[in-house]
Amino acid sequence: MQAPREATSEAEKPIAVADIIGCWKLIHAVELLDGIERPNPNLGTNPTGYLHYLAEGRVAVVVSLDGRKLLSGDHRRTAPREELADAALTFDAYAGTFSLIAPDRIAHHIEISTYQNDVGQDLVRRIVIEGDRLTLYPVEYAQMNRWLIWQRIPSA
């Protein structure tokens, strides 16, 4: 995994839009607690997710926690409310636009989200790219020492 790094130094190249365009697959959700790296307890040991950055300045994110249960019934509209509530708690998605706001900061401007309260908000992340890996560190929850590591999916 990848321990949190300090912000980019002047010697490092700032992140450019061209560096992030494409599709990324979530490979690790990490938390640092008492000096020990472990899976982020909110996402489980093996979450699945995709992050899409388009050249037009659009972003879309979907994350599914590991261990999600199948819903009973033939259709999600007829599933019991308890099952639907559990499904909502184990899946997150949002989309909108993005902008690079500093050499190592990106803002996701939320237009639609599974969590309606996020609509109209900006999620600011510290961003580090190393090779074909992109790591996002939440700025507003920096004290939590959590981050997501994404692997670039090669274009066909």
What is the C-alpha to C-alpha distance for residues 35 and 100, in angstroms, rounded to an integer? 30
- pLDDT tens string 36-80: 888 888 888 999 999 999 999 999 999 999 889 999 988 888 899
Q: What pLDDT shows up at residue 10?
A: 40
Q: Where are the domains of the chain?
A: 17-153
What is the C-alpha to C-alpha distance for residues 100 and 15, in angstroms, rounded to an integer? 8
Rg from Cα positions in the chain: 17
- The fold adopted by the segment(s) 17-153 is Lipocalin (2.40.128)
Low-confidence stretches of the chain (pLDDT beneath 50): 4, 7-11
Q: What pLDDT shows up at residue 40?
A: 87
Per-residue CA distances from 69 to 19, 43, 63, 64 (Å): 36, 14, 15, 11
